[in-house]
Structure 1
Amino acid sequence: MSALSEVALQIASEIRKVNLREDQRIPTSDTFIKELMSLFSREPDELRNILETLRTAKIIFIIKIVLPDDKASKMNDPGVDAYAYADLKILNDLKYYSEKKLERLYEATYYKKKSPSTITRELFPKIRELNNTPIGRIVNIAVMLEEYIRMMNNNPNEFQEEFRSQAMEDLLLSKGDTSETPVRQTPLSNSFGPNLSQRATDIPNNINPNSPWGRMVSKFSIDFLLRVHLRKCEFETVRKLITSGKVTSEENLRLIRDSLLKMEKNVNVDKVLASYLDEMTELRRLTQRKINSIAKPKTY
């Protein structure tokens, strides 16, 4: 994986972290770009290009919440964007968060109480008049989040992790990113799992090397990919990997089970994990059944 690919994935991870906060959950370019500049020592234009690549690869969504000044060029005034990680649970939580914020802001502005749907129907047609106002920003966010949720529900296959990661790499390569970073320098391993030196050199016989999963396994070890999915609470993805026969070894199954046990112990102190408790429990039980079915009988 190239250095730029790793930076892109880290930026996506930063967006996801912000989306999972208790408050101030939607990062916006007027402040977030500056934070990324300090984190990655890159210029604003380069960061915007990376964010656009993540959007095209369907890893994140970008919402234009402030239109550029008509009198200024887009280079001088690109407007303001908001960023959301492309995950259905996160988007639904952000939708609820933004609608509650919209209700409060509408009441404070117009001294009336209305439902979020009524407010958006009333104000969205006037969105240009509300450009660069707090209520105009949140109306844009609420409307577009609903649209993105509908998009993900209608086209779930387009948002599978393997497809998105490969699409991102292909897009970066098409833009001329061919540099490789030594694995010891990659910060991604510190964030998501084991060192990238554990890359797979031989794909297991039961995996199609031309499939999206096969291409991922050719670059990273299976245990690394599993840790990434678990870290990102993508339990449904892990379940599908098990039930489809892509993850079959007892070693990998035990890794999943043991990781889930640790995560379940933290639900009392982690509200995000607590919301996934049922999924974690169901996945752990599935994993244990698979382990039991392949475990060798003990001899005495």
Structure 2
Amino acid sequence: MSNLSDIALEIADEVRKINLRDDDKIPTSDTFLKDLIAMYSREPDEIRVILETLREAKIIFIIKIVLPEERAGKMNNDPGVDAYAYADLKILTDLKYYAEKKLERLYEATYYKKKSPSLITRELFPKIRELNNTPIGRMVNITVMLEEFIRMVNNNPNDFQEEFRNQALEEILVSKGETPAEGKDIADGPVGISSFSNSFGPAPSQRATDRMNEQAAANLNPNSPWGRMVSKFSIEFLLRVHLRKCEFETVRKLITTGKVGEAEHLRLIRDSLLKMEKNINVDKVLASYIDEMTELRRLTQRKLNLLSKSQIL
């Protein structure tokens, strides 16, 4: 593993250790981030990128417990406050019990009456914006999201296997160093190196030695941006990267320009989008892309249908 992978896994282990404490079990960015900055001598944005990478690799979960204030957010780029949980079913179940007990105590102290955690969340979650940046508002968010995370792990246990997650972490780190910088379109734009790579040293491009198949190679211009990327990475890997980064317009252009047209790649896109659409209730970022995901999935299915018809004829 690269040095950055080691740092990322160390940070994940710090989250796990805190989650296993008897009290103060849920680290939050308003304090935990400062500890990590001092520990690794990194800028806040760099630490946030590592934490987000761990989330993408399904090693940790991130809960937005305080939304950024609109006015402050525009002036100071306020990111709000996040909480972190290690993606392990036993740990998540323990954290949920801990959060529910704290929520019960907070509710009784605030409203002078007792209720079960399920009734409290049902009552207060619809008012979560009114409770933003309050202790009870934070705990409502944590309790609700932990329940969703437990459901995700139970429904997709293979996605949270250690080997799968470590491989995903490596792939994501490679992609952040070797794929075009944020905002660039790989289908028709210049290839660049992201600032993430510059922050953490040379990107391990040697790890990506997958070869494209002969038919795909014959249809590619090796000097085009897409051709150069496919010479380093497999098409499957590049598609997974674009989908993880919600670059649905880029994937659409790759399909409509004929750069991606193999049935196996189209099925990968379609099946990935179906999984992503199922997670929109627990991922606010994905929820904002629902129209683009649906349109891309329908385009992919139409292309697959055409391929099936041509094979029959």
Structure-2-length-normalised TM-score: 0.56
How large is the RMSD of aligned CA atoms in angstroms?
1.5
Shift of 1:59: 0.2
Q: Does 1:80 align with 2:81?
A: yes
Higher alpha-carbon deviation: 66-75 or 142-151: 66-75
The CA deviation string for residues 261-285 of structure 1, in whole angstroms up to 9 with x for no partner, is xxxxxxxxxxxxxxxxxxxxxxxxx
* 8 Å Cα contact 2:174-2:203 kept in structure 1: no
Shift of 1:180: 8.2
* 8 Å Cα contact 1:3-1:179 kept in structure 2: no
- What amino acid sits opposite 2:109 in the alignment? A
- Determine the C-alpha separation between the residues in 2 that align with 1:130 and 1:158: 33
- Determine the C-alpha separation between the residues in 2 that align with 1:174 and 1:72: 32
Percent identity at matched positions? 77
* 8 Å Cα contact 2:96-2:143 kept in structure 1: yes
Match of 1:52 in 2: 52
- Determine the C-alpha separation between the residues in 2 that align with 1:46 and 1:105: 34
Match of 1:63 in 2: 63
Match of 1:15 in 2: 15
Runs of 4+ with deviation above 4 angstroms: none
Shift of 1:76: 2.2
- Determine the C-alpha separation between the residues in 2 that align with 1:121 and 1:32: 29
Match of 2:157 in 1: 156
Unaligned runs of 5+ in 1: 182-300
Match of 1:117 in 2: 118
Counterparts in 2 of 1:180 and 1:6: CA distance versus 1, 3 Å: farther
- Determine the C-alpha separation between the residues in 1 that align with 2:79 and 2:25: 22
The CA deviation string for residues 163-188 of structure 1, in whole angstroms up to 9 with x for no partner, is 1001011101111157489xxxxxxx
* 8 Å Cα contact 1:88-1:149 kept in structure 2: yes
Shift of 1:2: 1.4
Shift of 1:78: 0.1
What is the aligned length?
A: 181
The CA deviation string for residues 6-63 of structure 1, in whole angstroms up to 9 with x for no partner, is 1100000000000000000000000000000111110000000000000000000000
* 8 Å Cα contact 1:98-1:138 kept in structure 2: yes
Structure-1-length-normalised TM-score: 0.59
The CA deviation string for residues 77-99 of structure 1, in whole angstroms up to 9 with x for no partner, is 00000000000000000000000
- What amino acid sits opposite 2:5 in the alignment? S
Secondary structure at the counterpart of residue 95 of structure 1: helix
- Determine the C-alpha separation between the residues in 1 that align with 2:72 and 2:131: 18
Secondary structure at the counterpart of residue 73 of structure 1: helix
- Determine the C-alpha separation between the residues in 2 that align with 1:78 and 1:92: 27
- Determine the C-alpha separation between the residues in 2 that align with 1:56 and 1:157: 15
| Aligned pairs for 1:1-300 within 5 A | 1-73=1-73, 76-176=77-177, 177=197, 179=202
Secondary structure at the counterpart of residue 13 of structure 1: helix
Shift of 1:3: 1.3
Secondary structure at the counterpart of residue 69 of structure 2: coil
- Determine the C-alpha separation between the residues in 2 that align with 1:73 and 1:133: 18
The CA deviation string for residues 219-247 of structure 1, in whole angstroms up to 9 with x for no partner, is xxxxxxxxxxxxxxxxxxxxxxxxxxxxx
- Determine the C-alpha separation between the residues in 1 that align with 2:13 and 2:89: 16
- What amino acid sits opposite 1:160 in the alignment? Q
The CA deviation string for residues 151-203 of structure 1, in whole angstroms up to 9 with x for no partner, is 1000111111111001011101111157489xxxxxxxxxxxxxxxxxxxxxx
* 8 Å Cα contact 2:63-2:142 kept in structure 1: yes
* 8 Å Cα contact 1:66-1:137 kept in structure 2: yes
Bigger relative contact order, structure 1 or 2 (CA pairs below 8 A, ≥6 apart): 1
